[in-house]
């Protein structure tokens, strides 16, 4: 089955994550979508409590660090954000998609492209720390099968990578990070996607 | 019992889907309805969580791709959308009505007719990819019984169709798609329904 | 016990339905009530999920077909609608009160009288189709006991009526329908109830 | 234990109901309270679903029949209504407090006194019909113990009263009613309570 | 363990209640807190349904009797009220903290001090009646251990006090009450707390 | 595993707490985050009911004591507060993070730094009392492992500390407190964090 093949970076907000499942590692796609609205967050894809809180945490981080990413804060107030994780019928949970969801949101809000052939896995905290996650070996095998070339991990997961034989990690470039800005430094390209959204925003009120 | 017969295309928003049930394939109708309101989405027909998320995903996709369909974004804000799937007492779930619900919404928001004798089945993602679904053989048999002439499927379901004997697919035209715009290209006619809604919208505020 | 006796048509919004229960057919009354408010819908009478969705579907149908019934759309926005189904302690569910609830709503919004000695049973869909329901024999027996003279059914239930012996249907006039407008054609009289509500509505805003 | 002793009519909104419990009949008090607000309804006293729906039905009836009781409709919008049924820790349910709650609300909204030594029991419907209830014998015995002199019942409960020996009903005056206005005709005095609320209402907007 | 030691009356809104627990009587503190907001009520301390309803009933009583306590009604609309009952991890329920919560609220809204060395227990109703509660003996023993000098009870609990030997009640002064105003007469001092809140309120709108 | 290593004080709102778990003591971090909004409180990190109520209590305390901390009350109304407790998948509950959450909030609202190498544990009440908590020995051992130098505890926990051998508490400085202001006196430094938020607030309305 070819779901796992890597699918390019023409669209803002589509980021490749790595998941652990009882039958082995897998890749997953986080999709983000903005539409004019009132700042409502919608989550779909049968996400569990922990994964939903991960998304909320990623959004809060982004809101209070919008300046460093040149995101106009009014976008948060005048657009609705929808995060979907295909396949829609497969229940998903856990904190390890934290950096993937945050990167997806950063891309959709900046309309910047995601680096090609990149995957990532790692929990985030509200202050932007990246925490290590489990299932590293299975996730790396799945990434290779899906033609991934670079992987972002918490620096505390480096030891897990080193325990895997080199034949499994050959051809993969690992980025070990401690904080969210390092993730975005690697993942977000400078260029915007084609047909980038031109945000329609009200004039700011006097303050 | 004749519920499964195809029922024409005089009404915007009524689209024929294909469902798998424990006792075989069946057709179902997705109905959409707009009334003046505040952008509220109502879902009925005893839909399960996955199917509800499918509807939310379809709506988000449509909102952020409204330009390409010539939908005035103010309709989303000043009309309420109701999606109903008869029969009202039969529980339904799963992601395979994704493209059917999206087509139904596209039709009701544009008031364009749906192609006659057409049915479809396929999951959608937020970025508009069409994913393959199961139960293809049973669904095709049901479509034939219901006088369907054309069927839209994900291109990844082509191999499932080819595994079925030709005597079962004779007289059916298959459209294999990868993305939502291809679905709408096939399904939405250029002509509007008779008595199309003339949307009543407030003047846009200065921006 | 005389609960089942038919009770006249002096009030808008009171319509007689036919129900199937484990101990036989019964009649039930759908009651509608409007009071100045903000468009809130309240349902009571221990209604189950399917029956609640039926009411929501009926209301959506009415909203988007208000023109043909000469209902000022502002009533939906400036009045609250309450639907109650006595007896309040008896749980009720199922889709078969669909046309009864829709007729009750149509009557309360137009303040038109309901035809005397009339009962009905049938599911509705969002586009206004009437679907067949079960328990026809028991329902007809109950209607006769309650002094009902005319009954509205889906045309697909005609065969169920014909299977019942003529001694049970004698004196009853059956209206077989396919679509909601046919139901209202039979059920709603041209005359308004005495003391019809004079709706108090704000001036429409410029559009 | 003397909870059941009748307690006078100095306060608007306090009405005596009759309840059936597994250990016999009992009286209960319905208390209503208005405070400036936004039309919120609060229910307390560990009320079950059916009893809550009874309260909602009573309020809807009152709202759409406010003219006949000379209640300014703006009170419904600018005051919050709280219904409490002591004792607060005892779960209560069922529809038989319908007319008692409606009378309590009518008294608090009109500030009119309740007739002294009066109790009542009966279900209401949204159109104002009074339906018969059970446990009549036990309720009457409890009313006598609590020094009640007059009782309002549905006319369909008259046969239940007549089955009780005269020695139990001696000294009690029964009012058999069919519709809510008959209940209020008996229960509500013309005089207002001392220190009646002077409602503070905004000027009505132009309409 | 010294949690039960009496803790002074320097703060508005802190009132001592008496609780019955499976291992004997205990005292508890009700804490109230106001902060600028929109009239939201927050309850914490793992309170059960009955206790939450008690708090809601107390607040409704206070709102509709604010004149007699010289509380500006706008405080209810422009401040948020939080009621907390330490210890935060211990589940609590039942109606017997009714008068304690009401007194706490009366103190925080008036900023008046609570009488020193005073405890109380009793259910309230919406019209301000005080109802008797259980566990009187255990509660009195706990009060003595905590250096309480005066106790407010429902007059119907007087017989429970008299059944306890005088050696247990010596040194305690009992206030037997029937109505809420009698509770506040005893509990609320005329003097305000030091650093009393100066409420910031918008000008009332024209009416 | 090195999660427990102490992590500096460069960020406002990050405070070190001490937790008891079935497998021994542990440190945890409370993270607070503000973003422009409407005063919404979001809690994440799989927090149980008691811990959520703790957070609500801390926020209420802070709101009504904002003057003494020089917090502009409009920040509560025009910013959203998010509290997260990593690791996001580990369920957490109990009242003992009360002072830690309150300190985290006080830091984020004032943008003042937290003292370095400081940890704390203790329940709070709404009036600002600090209550003792359990697991003191295990918590102290965890603090030492994580390089903590100072610990804030309720004065009633002093006896628990004294029961531990001096070899375990050597090098640790204990601050025994009774009230919240004593906690903040120790924990909050006078200096603000680098890049402190400059709050954007609307002009106060006339009052
Ligand atoms: Ca796979
Ligand atoms: Ca969970
Ligand atoms: Ca069929
Ligand atoms: Ca079928
Ligand atoms: Ca589910
Ligand atoms: Ca019957
Ligand atoms: Ca159900
Ligand atoms: Ca009794
Ligand atoms: Ca129930
Ligand atoms: Ca104790
Ligand atoms: Ca409960
Ligand atoms: Ca709990």
Q: What is the ipTM of this complex?
A: 0.93
Q: Does some domain include residue D182?
A: yes
Contacting chains of A (3 CB pairs or more, <8 Å) are B, F
Closest ligand to E53 CA? 11
Q: Confidence band (pLDDT; 50, 70, 90) for A5?
A: low
Closest ligand to A3 CA? 1
Per-residue model confidence as pLDDT tens digits over D180-205: 999 999 999 999 999 999 999 987 65
CB atoms within 5 A of ion ligand 8 belong to D 4, 26
Question: Ligand 11: distance of its center to the CA of D143 in Å?
Answer: 29
Output the pLDDT for position A71: 97
**In this model, does residue D4 exceed pLDDT 60?**
no
User: Are E10 and E193 contacting, i.e. CB atoms less than 8 angstroms apart?
Assistant: yes
**If you compute the radius of gyration of chain B from its CA atoms, what whole number of angstroms results?**
17
Q: Name the packing angle between helices B180-187 and B98-110 (round to 10°).
A: 60
Inter-chain touch C14–D127, beta carbons under 8 Å? yes
Can you tell me the distance from the alpha carbon of C181 to that of C188, in angstroms, rounded to the nearest whole number? 10
Distance, in angstroms, between F8 CA and closest chain E CA?
Answer: 30
User: Are C46 and C86 contacting, i.e. CB atoms less than 8 angstroms apart?
Assistant: no
Q: Confidence band (pLDDT; 50, 70, 90) for C23?
A: confident
Query: DSSP character for E86?
Result: S
Q: Does some domain include residue B195?
A: no
> And the tokens for E117?
């060395």
Question: Ligand 9: distance of its center to the CA of C11 in Å?
Answer: 30
Closest residue in E to F68 (Cα–Cα) = E195
Lowest mean pLDDT: which of A110-124, A174-188, C8-22, C141-155?
Answer: C8-22
Angle at D118 between CA D114 and CA D120, to 5 degrees: 105
**Rounded mean pLDDT of C87-100?**
96
**In this model, does residue A22 exceed pLDDT 50?**
yes
Closest ligand to A87 CA? 1
The 3-state DSSP composition of chain A as helix, strand, coil percent (nearest 5) reads 35, 30, 40
Q: Does some domain include residue B148?
A: yes
Angle at E64 between CA E62 and CA E70, to 5 degrees: 65
Question: Ligand 12: distance of its center to the CA of B24 in Å?
Answer: 44
User: Are F17 and F118 contacting, i.e. CB atoms less than 8 angstroms apart?
Assistant: no
Please name every residue paired with F174 in a beta bridge, in sequence order, or none if there are none: F151
What average pLDDT values come out for chain F (207 residues) when binned by 10 residues?
A: 66 96 91 96 97 98 96 97 96 96 98 97 97 96 95 97 92 97 98 95 69
The question of whether C96 is a catalytic residue gets the answer: yes
Output the pLDDT for position B1: 38
Output the pLDDT for position B203: 79
Residues of A in contact with F80 (CB under 8 A): 60, 63
Output the pLDDT for position E1: 40
> And the tokens for A105?
């949101």
Inter-chain touch F126–E84, beta carbons under 8 Å? yes
Can you tell me the distance from the alpha carbon of A4 to that of E40, in angstroms, rounded to the nearest whole number? 49
Element (H, E) at F106: helix F98-110
Q: Does some domain include residue D147?
A: yes
Which among D14, D82, D89 has the least Cβ separation from residue E60? D82
**In this model, does residue B178 exceed pLDDT 50?**
yes
Per-residue model confidence as pLDDT tens digits over B48-103: 999 999 999 999 999 999 999 999 999 999 999 999 999 999 999 999 999 999 99
Inter-chain touch F13–A127, beta carbons under 8 Å? yes
Inter-chain touch D46–E63, beta carbons under 8 Å? no
Residues in chain E whose Cβ is within 8 Å of chain D: 49-50, 53-54, 56-57, 60-61, 63-64, 73, 76-77, 94-95, 98, 123, 125-127, 129, 131, 156, 205-207
User: Which distant-in-sequence residues (6+ apart) come within 8 Å of F172 by Cβ?
Assistant: F140, F143, F144, F148, F149, F150, F151
Output the pLDDT for position D9: 82
Output the pLDDT for position F193: 96
Per-residue model confidence as pLDDT tens digits over E147-200: 999 999 999 999 999 999 898 899 999 999 999 999 999 999 999 999 999 999
User: Which distant-in-sequence residues (6+ apart) come within 8 Å of D113 by Cβ?
Assistant: D9, D12, D107, D188, D189, D191, D192, D193
Q: Confidence band (pLDDT; 50, 70, 90) for A41?
A: very high
The structural domain count of chain F equals: 1
**B interface mutation test: which of C51, C60, C160 has the most B CBs within 10 A?**
C60
> And the tokens for E121?
């227990």
Closest ligand to E27 CA? 10
Per-residue model confidence as pLDDT tens digits over C107-129: 999 999 999 999 999 999 999 99
Nearest CA among F11, F183, F7, F6 for reference residue F103: F183
Can you tell me the distance from the alpha carbon of B177 to that of B174, in angstroms, rounded to the nearest whole number? 10
Per-residue model confidence as pLDDT tens digits over D123-161: 999 999 999 999 999 999 999 999 999 999 999 999 999
Per-residue model confidence as pLDDT tens digits over C35-87: 999 999 999 999 999 999 999 999 999 999 999 999 999 999 999 999 999 99
Angle at F82 between CA F78 and CA F83, to 5 degrees: 140
Output the pLDDT for position B3: 53
Q: Confidence band (pLDDT; 50, 70, 90) for C1?
A: very low
Inter-chain touch D36–E63, beta carbons under 8 Å? yes
Nearest CA among F16, F72, F15, F62 for reference residue F41: F62
Question: Ligand 12: distance of its center to the CA of E91 in Å?
Answer: 9
CATH of the domain at E89: 3.30.230.10
B173: number of Cβ within 10 Å: 13
Can you tell me the distance from the alpha carbon of F141 to that of F136, in angstroms, rounded to the nearest whole number? 9
> And the tokens for B108?
């009701």
Output the pLDDT for position B11: 93
Inter-chain touch C88–D205, beta carbons under 8 Å? no
Residues of D in contact with E47 (CB under 8 A): none
Label residues C77-99 b or e (16+ Cβ within 10 Å = b). Answer: bbbbbbbbbbbbbeebebbbbbb
Can you tell me the distance from the alpha carbon of F104 to that of C97, in angstroms, rounded to the nearest whole number? 56
Closest ligand to D52 CA? 9
Residues of A in contact with B49 (CB under 8 A): 46
Q: Name the packing angle between helices E180-187 and E98-110 (round to 10°).
A: 60
Look over chain B and give the mean of its residue pLDDT values, rounded to a whole number. 94
The domain in which residue B88 lies consists of 15-189
Query: Distances in Å between the alpha carbon of E5 and those of B31, C91, E103, E188, E197?
Result: 67, 53, 20, 21, 27
Q: Does some domain include residue B177?
A: yes
User: Which distant-in-sequence residues (6+ apart) come within 8 Å of F161 by Cβ?
Assistant: F136, F140, F153, F169, F174
Angle at B25 between CA B23 and CA B31, to 5 degrees: 120
Element (H, E) at E104: helix E98-110
Q: Confidence band (pLDDT; 50, 70, 90) for B126?
A: very high
Residues in chain A whose Cβ is within 8 Å of chain F: 49-50, 53-54, 56-57, 60-61, 63-64, 73, 76-77, 94-95, 98, 123, 125-127, 129, 131, 156, 205, 207
**Residue B13, by phi and psi: left (phi above 0), alpha (psi -120 to 50) or beta?**
left
Contacting chains of F (3 CB pairs or more, <8 Å) are A, E
**A interface mutation test: which of B60, B71, B100, B129 has the most A CBs within 10 A?**
B60
Question: Ligand 7: distance of its center to the CA of A87 in Å?
Answer: 26
**If you compute the radius of gyration of chain A from its CA atoms, what whole number of angstroms results?**
17
Q: Does some domain include residue D148?
A: yes
Output the pLDDT for position F205: 58
**A interface mutation test: which of B49, B54, B65, B125 has the most A CBs within 10 A?**
B125
Which among A49, A123, A126 has the least Cβ separation from residue F33? A126
Look over chain D and give the mean of its residue pLDDT values, rounded to a whole number. 94
Inter-chain touch B88–C95, beta carbons under 8 Å? yes
Inter-chain touch B84–C54, beta carbons under 8 Å? no
User: Are E33 and F126 contacting, i.e. CB atoms less than 8 angstroms apart?
Assistant: yes
**Rounded mean pLDDT of A131-141?**
96
**In this model, does residue B4 exceed pLDDT 80?**
no
Residues of C in contact with D205 (CB under 8 A): 202
3-state class of A6 per DSSP?
coil
**In this model, does residue B112 exceed pLDDT 90?**
yes
Q: Which residues of chain E have pLDDT under 70?
A: 1-6, 204-207
Label residues B176-207 b or e (16+ Cβ within 10 Å = b). Answer: bbebbebbbebbbeeeebeeebeeeeeeeeee
Q: Does some domain include residue C172?
A: yes
Nearest CA among B98, B71, B73, B70 for reference residue B85: B98
Can you tell me the distance from the alpha carbon of C133 to that of C122, in angstroms, rounded to the nearest whole number? 6
User: Which distant-in-sequence residues (6+ apart) come within 8 Å of C164 by Cβ?
Assistant: C136, C137, C140
Output the pLDDT for position B2: 47
What phi, psi does E168 have (nearest 5°)?
-90, -25
Inter-chain touch B63–A35, beta carbons under 8 Å? yes
Can you tell me the distance from the alpha carbon of C126 to that of C22, in angstroms, rounded to the nearest whole number? 29
Query: Distances in Å between the alpha carbon of A105 and those of A8, A84, A94, D173, E124?
Result: 17, 11, 18, 73, 52
Q: Does some domain include residue C148?
A: yes
Please name every residue paired with E123 in a beta bridge, in sequence order, or none if there are none: E131
E90: number of Cβ within 10 Å: 15
User: Are F15 and F114 contacting, i.e. CB atoms less than 8 angstroms apart?
Assistant: yes
Which among E53, E64, E77 has the least Cβ separation from residue D45? E53
Which among B14, B87, B202 has the least Cβ separation from residue C131? B87
Question: Ligand 1: distance of its center to the CA of A131 in Å?
Answer: 25
Can you tell me the distance from the alpha carbon of B39 to that of B49, in angstroms, rounded to the nearest whole number? 21
**Rounded mean pLDDT of A185-199?**
96
Can you tell me the distance from the alpha carbon of B173 to that of B187, in angstroms, rounded to the nearest whole number? 13
B77: number of Cβ within 10 Å: 16
Determine what percent of chain E is predicted with pLDDT higher than 90.
88
């Amino acid at each position: 089955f070819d779901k796992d093949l890597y699918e390019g970076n023409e669209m803002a907000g589509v980021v490749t994550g790595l998941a652990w499942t009882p039958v082995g590692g897998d890749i997953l796609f986080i999709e983000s979508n903005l539409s004019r609205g009132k700042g409502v967050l919608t989550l779909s894809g049968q996400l569990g409590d922990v994964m939903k809180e991960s998304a909320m945490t990623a959004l809060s981080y982004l809101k209070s660090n919008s300046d460093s990413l040149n995101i106009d804060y009014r976008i948060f107030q005048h657009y609705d954000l929808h995060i979907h994780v295909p396949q829609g019928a497969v229940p998903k949970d856990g904190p390890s998609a934290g950096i993937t969801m945050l990167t997806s949101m950063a891309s959709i809000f900046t309309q910047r492209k995601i680096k090609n052939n990149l995957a990532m896995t790692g929990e985030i905290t509200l202050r932007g720390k990246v925490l290590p996650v489990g299932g590293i070996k299975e996730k790396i095998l799945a990434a290779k099968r899906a033609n991934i070339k670079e992987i972002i991990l918490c620096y505390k997961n480096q030891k897990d990578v080193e325990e895997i034989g080199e034949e499994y990690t050959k051809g993969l470039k690992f980025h070990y990070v401690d904080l969210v800005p390092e993730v975005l430094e690697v993942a977000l390209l400078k260029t915007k996607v084609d047909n980038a959204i031109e945000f329609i925003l009200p004039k700011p009120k006097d303050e």
